[in-house]
Amino acid sequence: MTHLNHTTLSYLKLGKDACYEYEYALKLRNDSYSTHESYAFHLEYGKNHQAAMAHFEFCIDHCRKNNKKLTNANFLSAYSRAADFANEPLIAEEYYKLTLQNDNKRSMFRTAKFCAFYGRFLSQNSRWKEAKIQYENAIKLQPNNAYNHHRLANVLFKMEKFDEHVVPLKQALKINPNFTAALRDFERFFNADYDGDNIGNVGDERKEEIVENININQQQSSSSQSQSATSTNLSKFHPKNKYQNEFNRLFWNAFGAENEVVRKRFKEYFIKMTLKELNDIRVILKHDIKDLRKQIKIQIKNIQTGDLEKILTFFADIREKNAVFGHWLDANGIDVFMKQVFEAHCIFTVDGLHAIKNKPDLINIISDASNGDRALPSDVSKELINDLWAMIRSINNNRNIN
């Protein structure tokens, strides 16, 4: 078969079969611009972003060598998305911009899509004001797209423009009353089910409550690349698990008693840490202080040096107390299994054992480690239970005396 036969066959097939035909066609003629271009689009459509980039870049180099200007907006858009999802943000942004510059604007649907793609990229990088502009442009061109109204609502919420954010949120639901993510966001914001336009703007007290309760998504959610995968940004503002809840408790115990000016700064830091998934006890224990310092400086660009050191000292204190807990368990002959059991119940320090009020509490905690079976795991003896409870009771008694 000729190169043309294999290229033609690739259009008629899907998945691996198409890839085989494209690869074979390139073996016969590796310098074919059209085959590299078609294969790049096929790979990008199949979410094989890194491989797609190689074939897009062949086409880009080909144009440069032949002094041809690359103005195909569909090509530029596909390459920018491939770079975006392949974690090449500088390339992605350059080509998102080139896409918009070279778009002939003959199709409002296509232009709106390009704006929304760039808006998603800007949102992923916490550039809310710029993202707002792109989503607004997309909505002007395609006013009945519920997804873009919802995305704009999320951006406005991140900017703490609560009254403004309600408008596109309601519009998303007006367009699609069954839009699950928007319904969930509406319920969380108003503490009520959606019922048309019967609910007005939220009051200042509720706004303050929302900001005070800001908490991060589950660790590494940003690996999800689609806007829908972060389906409800508002759900980020509630503790998803006990590890986040415990972090929040410790954070405000440490910084909540500061004066009003300092508290305001730390509230801003807390919000940014929340949105970047840093308020989880497990994250603090998993990464060393050097890595945590780097992350804080990246995510909170306006943090004062003294405040940064206070937060890092707070992190170091958590890590030190956990290390002491591990030494205490080891010194008392308690194995790693029990440390994991305690930590699964958010007990990371010796002081945390105060949460265990009696022997049945201890038995329940250990039983939970056996997939909810209330029978004790076979490798846990009654003697171990008695020894553990004796030590915990001693700690509790000493606390009461002090």
pLDDT digits (tens, 9 = 90+) for 22-54: 777 878 888 888 888 888 888 877 778 888 888
pTM: 0.50
Question: Residue written as tokens 């910084």?
Answer: 255
The superfamily in CATH containing domain 3-234 is Tetratricopeptide repeat domain (1.25.40.10)
pLDDT band at 369; cut points 50, 70, 90: low
| Residue 348 dihedral angles phi and psi, to the nearest 5° | -115, -5
Where are the domains positioned within the chain?
3-234
Question: Residue written as tokens 């036969």?
Answer: 5
Contacts of 145 (CB under 8 A, 6+ apart): 112, 116, 138, 139, 175
For residues 289 and 316, is the Cβ–Cβ distance under 8 A? Answer: yes
pLDDT score of 263: 86
CA dihedral 36, 41, 43, 49 (to 10 degrees): 100
User: What mean pLDDT is predicted for residues 284-290?
Assistant: 87
* Cα 74 to Cα 337: distance, rounded to the nearest angstrom: 55
3-state SS, one letter per residue, for 197-223: CCCCCCCHHHHHHHHHCCCCCCCCHHH
For residues 284 and 292, is the Cβ–Cβ distance under 8 A? Answer: yes
pLDDT score of 291: 87
DSSP state of 191: S
Least confident of 93-97, 315-319, 367-371, 390-394: 367-371
pLDDT band at 240; cut points 50, 70, 90: low
Residue pLDDT, tens place only, 114-168 = 999 999 999 988 899 999 999 999 999 999 999 999 999 999 988 888 888 889 9
